[in-house]
Chain A
Amino acid sequence: MDFSLSSEQKLIKDGVEKFVRNEYDFETRNKIIATEDGFDRALWKQFAELGWLGISFSEEDGGFGGGAIDTNIIMEAFGSGMVVEPYLATVVLGGNALALGGTPTQKEEVLGSVIAGETLLAVAYAETQSRFQLSDVATTAAKSGEQYSLNGEKVVVYGGAWADKVIVSARTSGDQMSEAGITLFLVDAKASGVSVTSYQSMDGARMANIAMKNVTVGADAIVGQLDQGYALLDQVVDSGISALCAEAIGEMNALFQKTLAFVKEREQFGVAIGSFQTIQHRLVDMFMAVESSRSMAIMNALKLSSTDVTERKKAVSAAKVYIGQNSRHCAQEAVQLHGGIGVTEELDIGHYFRRLTLFCGAFGSTNHHLKRFADLSD
């Protein structure tokens, strides 16, 4: 048994951590999210040049042959600085959809360009009524001749505001709730009939609702198999959850470290508040939450590529539940122990809090995954 990182992985870890420390401090982040675009395209280019966008993809696909552990290394470091650039949407979700299901042409043209930092992606599956159910798809793709015509609306799409191309789930057969009959399509965000309404999400990043009205695509836009898109989407979303769990560890750890420093410094009643035993125990609880969550993120990453689908899904849901609960605890405690200053926009604590609140609901709430885990364990 060995939990150590390879020398390449250590290099990446050091590199991303150093980037966050030196080039992505809280002030820089605030400036970035205040721009109209809401993220920094120059930094994105830099990520591409450093090879960070291609790390997890196979060499065949133009990547560096890494995997989920590598993704997690990057995501955890990004989490420590709440990096808003669309790594999750473009590389993890979009990239994995193409890596797992893309045609050779799609891989060559789109995945290659993603790795080069030239194309941004998003995966759009949620709809107004669908809540966390990937199989609840009302968006339709009607076939006429060799073409498909897409109609419907996708909501709260991660990175949707920035995406050049969007992978959307649409119904090609079956009824609204059935897993069979869902197909994934690669759609150009600028295609006629696509309208993108973007807005801010609570962590300062951008999301979008994407409406499609008679959007015409060819069969070559299909990612994966016709009617068989559900399993692929499920796997893609699982990879997103795994990455997001790693990001959450970065955020939780940042909150723990910052709170630790704060209670040593903040004085009330003539002493550091960290000298009160009740506060000490609370910090220990936070520490335990971080470290046990880290174990779950590793477990998850190791099982993500399992060919046993049930095993993969259980691992992902277990991690989401456990890290969801513990990150909520950490976030709430960090704010509470900071007192008034913890509930301000001025301090980063509140921003980590918001980011983790978003994490808790992302790709299915704790309850949703608890149920998914239980159902798979029956």
Chain B
Amino acid sequence: MNIDYTKEELEFQQEVRTWFKENLPEDVKRKHQIGAPFSKDETVAWQKTLSKAGYFVVGWPEEHGGPGWTATQRYIFDSERAAAGAPVGMSMGVIMLGPVLMAFGTQEQKDLYLPRIKDCDDWWCQGYSEPGAGSDLASLKTQAVLDGDEYVINGTKIWTTYGHHANLCFCLVRTDNDCKQQLGISFILIDMEAEGIDVRPIISIDGEHHLNQVFFDDVRVPKKNLVGAEGQGWTIAKYLLTHERTTIAGVADSKLNFSNLKELAKTQTANGAPLIEDEQLRLKIAEEEIKLLALEYTNFRTLADTAAGRAPGPESSLLKVKGTETQQSLSELRVEMAGNYAYVWKADETVAPAEFLHATEQYNFLRACTIYGGSTEVQKNVVAKMLLGLK
């Protein structure tokens, strides 16, 4: 048993490391480091840089324009990306829709959308949740009724992350009301500029605009935008959610955040001494590091399973639950370190050090990571069913 990389993998690691060193703009790195929000333009610009280097659709196979990396290479890439201080970007198209289209899309859909995702020409949002359908996603009500060669869509989606940036949306809609809930759901691609769509902002607990509610009023969508068959939406959604869960764990980014915090504890002073000389804080930092190790090695084991072609079991839920808890506790640590500056809201560097300006915003917003992508409670229900052998 070992966790050593092969010679080729080490070379690959070096190559990626060098690329980030040479291509990550200082301002992007800094913003990411202090947790400042990115504008749409800033995100797109950075993603285009990644894309030009062939580093955007990193999980994709070669036949669809991806690098065709092994699971280990992907892991190396992600670790290097995070360690370099580069944001992962908002790439629902890359992580979620891409794999779905590859598995279920028509040739036309693949030809049309995959290259545009790869080049970061489209911004996709995910239209699953509804006011009445959160954890119980299968109860969703947004209707799609076939009228000639178009579906007419009515209903509403909520919590649509960056729906206000998106020009396209992959959506779950109800196409049949007379069968088992799950079987009446279809997966469809919607143009956000279509007539009848109204995107309304939802300001979140960090005081920022990430989320939206989207209203559909007789929106006409060509039939050819259906992905898979009518009624296959639930199968597709489940396929996609497993992808979402493993990425949400964010182990590599938590490692970076941790090392930034540790550095901060050495450089920020209070009462004439670096923060890290406070014994309690020092031990708390150590505790976080230990939790991260447990997470990292669980991640390694999942990775080894994937590399060996075994489907991840309950570990993907474990990673999601523990990974998001770690994100939350690291954000608490930053707030603790910020001391009095944690109270400051939407201020600038004349009032508080840059490293702490967004500390509470992040702490607040990260409460959401145990809610989205399958809440912790729902994850535990899934694992409980597996462990207890329940139906």
A residues within 8 Å of B by Cβ?
A: 126, 129-133, 136, 155-156, 176-177, 197, 199-204, 207, 209, 267-270, 276, 278-279, 332, 335-336, 339-340, 342-346, 350, 353-354, 357-358, 361-362, 365, 367, 370-371
Contacts and interface: CB of A to CB of B under 8 A. Distances in A.
Interface in B126-155: 129, 132, 134-136, 139
A361 B335 contact: yes
A344 B365 CA distance: 9
A365 B350 CA distance: 24
B280 A131 contact: no
Contacts of A156: 340-341, 343-344
B340 A155 contact: yes
Contact of B342 (A177, A209, A361): A361
Contact of A202 (B159, B211, B272, B343): B343
A279 B343 contact: no
A344 B343 contact: no
Contact of A339 (B281, B341, B375): B375
Contacts of A202: 342-345, 360, 364
A339 B347 CA distance: 28
A339 B371 contact: yes
B376 interface: yes
A148 B69 CA distance: 71
A155 B371 CA distance: 35
Given A199-B351, A340-B159, A176 B272 contact: yes
B229 to A, nearest CB: 26
B367 A207 contact: no
7 contacts: A156-B341, A156-B344, A200-B346, A267-B132, A270-B139, A332-B367, A336-B376
Given A340-B134, A344-B203, A367-B281, 5 more contacts: A176-B272, A200-B347, A342-B367, A354-B205, A365-B339
Nearest to B346: A200
B134 A129 contact: no
B207 interface: yes
A130 B340 CA distance: 9
Interface residues of B, number: 49
A358 to B, nearest CB: 5
Nearest to A370: B280
Contacts of B346: 199-200
Contacts of B202: 344, 346
Contacts of A131: 270-271, 339-340
Contacts of A270: 136, 139
A165 to B, nearest CB: 22
A357 B360 contact: yes
B287 interface: no
Complex A-B, nearest 8 residue pairs according to Cβ-Cβ distance, in ascending order: A131-B270, A350-B205, A268-B136, A345-B203, A202-B345, A156-B340, A201-B343, A343-B205
B351 A209 contact: yes
A339 B133 CA distance: 11
Given A201-B344, A207-B344, A361-B339, A343 B365 contact: yes
> What is the predominant secondary structure among interface residues of chain A facing chain B?
mixed
B344 A353 contact: no
Contacts of B336: 361, 365, 367
B341 A357 contact: no
B335 A357 contact: yes
Contacts of B64: none
A273 B5 CA distance: 47
Interface of B: 129, 132, 134-136, 139, 158-159, 202-205, 207, 211, 269-272, 278, 280-281, 284, 335-336, 338-347, 350-351, 360, 363-365, 367-368, 370-372, 375-377, 380
B364 A353 contact: yes
Contact of A340 (B129, B270, B284): B129
A122 to B, nearest CB: 14
Contacts of B132: 267
B196 to A, nearest CB: 24
Contacts of A346: 202-203
A268 B336 CA distance: 36
B270 A336 contact: no
A129 B340 contact: no
A343 B204 contact: yes
Nearest to A176: B272
A367 B350 CA distance: 27
Contacts of A339: 134-135, 371, 375
A167 to B, nearest CB: 18
Given A156-B343, A340-B158, A344-B211, A357 B364 contact: yes
A36 to B, nearest CB: 16
Given A177-B271, A177-B272, A199-B351, A354 B364 contact: yes
Contacts of B284: 367
B363 A129 contact: no
B340 A336 contact: no
Nearest to A202: B345
A269 B135 contact: yes
A301 B7 CA distance: 67
Contacts of A155: 340, 351
A131 B270 CA distance: 6
A197 B351 contact: yes
Given A131-B270, A365-B336, A353 B343 contact: no
A367 B132 CA distance: 41
A268 B271 contact: no
Given A268-B136, A343-B371, A344-B211, A367 B280 contact: yes
Find the residue from B339, B340, B344 having the highest chain A CB count within 10 A: B340
Contacts of A197: 350-351
B345 A201 contact: yes
A299 B345 CA distance: 33
Contacts of A344: 202-205, 211
Nearest to A155: B340
B367 A199 contact: no
